[in-house]
Amino acid sequence: MSLTGPRTRTGRGGLVADEAWRYNIQMPMSQERPQMRGTTVLCVRKDNKVVLVADGQVTMGDHVMKHTARKTRRLFNDKVIAGFAGSTADAISLFERFEGKLQEFSGNLQKSAVELAKDWRKDRALRHLEALLIVADGKATFILSGNGDVIEPDDGLVAIGSGGMYALAAARALLKHSKLTAKDLALEAMSIASEICIFTNENFTVEEL
């Protein structure tokens, strides 16, 4: 496990997914509004390619609000891809902040991720934002959380959201036992997750570098 940033953790390879899952289910939600659930975002790095896939379902309470939500974005002149789990409005704010960091540090993904995580943890306004981010460029992939964590996976595979565990498990099995391209592997793993997680659909958006 490779970790970067103001906080450090140690553990086995599965910790990235465990951490992301724990953050996702424990995000504080207001008691005055129904909990919005439903996201699976998977990032696969293989053969010098990186692919980010997200589903399109947004669920509020016990019903589906939207089937075609877009939970991914290309940043810094399409050199960085990012996906989110959590509140859409909060994620948009974080994307804007993160792109500002990329501009400030000339596209240095690691430095930008660390500085955003610092701000996210310390800033009085940002600390209330409810989201998890996956960000990636041609060289590295990171999960960012509001706890100040910047986590880099060991095997190039990482997932967040309600179906993240299923997508990550499927991706690891396919990586070991198939010759699929990065894109095909990611789509197949997401398809498997959508068959298991009721908060995940098959309206996928795909970003590739």
Helix (H, G, I), strand (E, B) or coil at 59: strand
Place of tokens 């939970």: 71
Catalytic member of 8, 39, 88, 181: 39
CB contact at 8 A, 126 and 97: yes
Taking each helix axis from N to C end, the angle separating 88-104 and 109-122, rounded to the nearest 10 degrees, works out to 130
Which residue(s) pair with 161 in the sheet? Answer: 40
- DSSP state, residue 34: P
The backbone torsions φ and ψ at residue 193, rounded to the nearest 5 degrees and listed phi first, read -60, -40
Q: Is 39 a catalytic residue?
A: yes
Catalytic residues: 39
